[in-house]
Amino acid sequence: MKIFTGSQIHELDKYTIEHEPIESIDLMERAAKAITDAITGEWPSDKNVIVFAGPGNNGGDALAVARMLLDRGYDVAVWLFNIGNRLSEDCATNRERLTEHRLMKKFTEVTVDFDPPKLDADTLVIDGLFGSGLKKPLSGGFASLVKYINQSPAKVISIDLPSGLMTEDNTYNVRANIVKADLTLTLQQKKVSMMFADTQAFLGRIKVLDIGLSEEFIKNTGSQYTTTEADDIKGKLRKRDAFAHKGSMGNALLIAGSYGMAGAAVLAARACMRSGVGKATVLTSETNRCIIQTAIPEAILKIDSNERCFSNTIDTDSYDAVGIGPGLGTDEDTAVALMAQLRRTKCPVVLDADALNIIANHRTWMQHLPEKLIMTPHPKEFDRLCGSVSSSDYERLSKARDMAEHLEAYIILKGHHSALCTPDGSVTFNTSGNAGMATAGSGDVLTGIITGLLARGYTRAQACITGMYLHGLAGDMAAHETGEESLMASDIIKYIPQAFKQLTDNK
């Protein structure tokens, strides 16, 4: 599913108005009905409803919702903020409609001074101050109003976006001046800023409301940002040939594990095998021999000449994909061997964990990395790769996108909505997964899955997108059994078969 920028959202509205065709005020009425239906579906009419409406179209939506709530028996008080005496045309129209409504008894238009109403636990605040058109942080009286709302015990529903939150980049926003919603009713599709961990405190639950914007525009307009849904994955899964044998199902190599870190290698190898690959080989140190052969007898074992760590390259001509990094360690011998291995490896490569840490410790080596690498850093690993800490998740994503273009690499920035940044500058957010997956070894499992899919013949982009979704879906299934608190990485591996089955049974 596409995610449009703020400017594209404006163009989508405009295109719908021109080509449906529909008057802008009638489109606003359609949106208000969807919002009202969502509110009345959750909140009883005995709630004390207070509507704060801004001077733009977000305020127009709020005024139309107030009128519809009156029709449904709600007790509604409205404050319209018209400080500059400049209402949008549709906001002005909805002001007239509302003030002429026979049940509208509590309407205040604020032009200078504002005496705030009491907001208690029985109050439902509808935040329609500012939506997706906001370009700068709130200040002055609006900032004070936001702080007043946030310190109250009232429940808050924001229309489209919590007021003060910008559609994409909130790096330099003032967090204290952003409404903290309990529920955000966003119109037509999620916004880019909704995909980041550092904005979740403002969004509460998110519901996407279909308001019938132009399907033609959505279909034909390119977007830098997309999300992956189950249907996207179902169409990309490769069918196993009935006459397949292990030699035709891909041969994967995992360079993983060092002294005391055999577990990472085991997790990656088990996940790789569960991802459908015909053969998987683990190259590791002598100290891990017994552990790996006992934990995953299906894997082939190769032993490095160094008893404690990876220090010598291996010929990879017979392999279809290579994953490097889980539990690898960062010894200098390992660092030198890593770069030598990358130079001689021609098949697709996944770099994770200590492989990324080695590169971060030798940042001048980045200019010598081969093209088309897949890199799977978590936020701190990525900051180390960049050499600087990002001020926001959006800034970090922007850096990852730039790095992917510069290195011609595929970078998966891991998180609740893991983001794949590709060499062409596009970003795909994953939609599966849960907080229980924030546990040691979860990244090793992802590396194993992607390496296995690459060896099976998936393209790099397909392997990344499919791997992210399968990883998250298996984690969701595991959490359903164990709960998020008790979820372990090995639980994710246990549910990879069920995740595949769910995606194939419903095709």
User: Which tens digits make up the pLDDT trace of 209-256?
Assistant: 999 999 999 999 999 999 999 999 998 899 999 999 999 999 999 999
pLDDT at residue 505 in the model: 83
Among 9, 1, 110, which residue's Cα sits nearest to residue 53? 110
How would you class 387 by CB atoms within 10 Å of its CB: exposed for 0-12, middle for 13-18, buried for 19 or more?
A: exposed
User: Which tens digits make up the pLDDT trace of 308-321?
Assistant: 999 999 999 999 99
Helices (H), 169-261: 200-203, 215-220, 230-234
Among 166, 128, 110, which residue's Cα sits nearest to residue 31? 128
Is a pLDDT exceeding 60 seen at residue 463? Answer: yes
Q: What is the largest CA-CA distance in the chain?
A: 87
Cα-flanking dihedrals φ and ψ of residue 227, to 5°?
Answer: -120, 155
- What fold does the segment set 230-505 form as a domain? UDP-N-acetylmuramoyl-L-alanine:D-glutamate ligase (3.40.1190)
State how far the Cα of 240 lies from the Cα of 500, in Å rounded to an integer.
Answer: 12
Q: What is the DSSP string of 57-71?
A: HHHHHHHHHHHHHHH
User: Which tens digits make up the pLDDT trace of 256-304?
Assistant: 999 999 999 999 999 999 999 999 999 999 999 999 999 999 999 999 9
pLDDT at residue 235 in the model: 81
SS3 of residue 121 by DSSP = coil
Structure tokens at 241: 């040939």
Domain ranges of the chain: 2-223, 230-505
Percent with pLDDT over 90 in the chain: 97
42 close to 207: Cβ distance less than 8 angstroms: no
418 close to 412: Cβ distance less than 8 angstroms: yes
SS3 of residue 449 by DSSP = helix
Among 197, 127, 224, which residue's Cα sits nearest to residue 416? 197
State how far the Cα of 436 lies from the Cα of 421, in Å rounded to an integer.
Answer: 24
State how far the Cα of 201 lies from the Cα of 336, in Å rounded to an integer.
Answer: 43
SS3 of residue 170 by DSSP = coil
Half-sphere exposure of 397 (CA within 13 A, CB side): 26
Q: What is the DSSP string of 1-59?
A: -EE--HHHHHHHHHHHHHHTT--HHHHHHHHHHHHHHHHHTTS-TTSEEEEEE-SSHHH
Is a pLDDT exceeding 60 seen at residue 93? Answer: yes
Provide the angle, in degrees to the nearest 10, between the axes of the packed helices 354-361 and 379-386.
20
Strands (E), 248-390: 251-255, 279-284, 300-303, 321-324, 349-351, 374-375
Sheet arrangement for strand 321-324: 2-3, 225-228, 427-430, 419-421, 410-413, 374-375, 349-351, 321-324, 251-255, 279-284, 300-303
Mean pLDDT of the chain: 97
Is a pLDDT exceeding 60 seen at residue 506? Answer: no
Among 305, 310, 356, 303, which residue's Cα sits nearest to residue 332? 310
Is a pLDDT exceeding 80 seen at residue 100? Answer: yes
pLDDT at residue 254 in the model: 98
How would you class 351 by CB atoms within 10 Å of its CB: exposed for 0-12, middle for 13-18, buried for 19 or more?
A: buried
**For residue 327, what is the DSSP state?**
T
Is a pLDDT exceeding 90 seen at residue 64? Answer: yes
State how far the Cα of 384 lies from the Cα of 361, in Å rounded to an integer.
Answer: 8
User: Which tens digits make up the pLDDT trace of 325-369?
Assistant: 999 999 999 999 999 999 999 999 999 999 999 999 999 999 999
Is a pLDDT exceeding 90 seen at residue 56? Answer: yes
Q: 2-223 has which CATH code?
A: 3.40.50.10260
State how far the Cα of 507 lies from the Cα of 490, in Å rounded to an integer.
Answer: 27
State how far the Cα of 507 lies from the Cα of 502, in Å rounded to an integer.
Answer: 9
pLDDT at residue 133 in the model: 87
Contacts of 90 (CB under 8 A, 6+ apart): 24, 25, 28, 57, 60
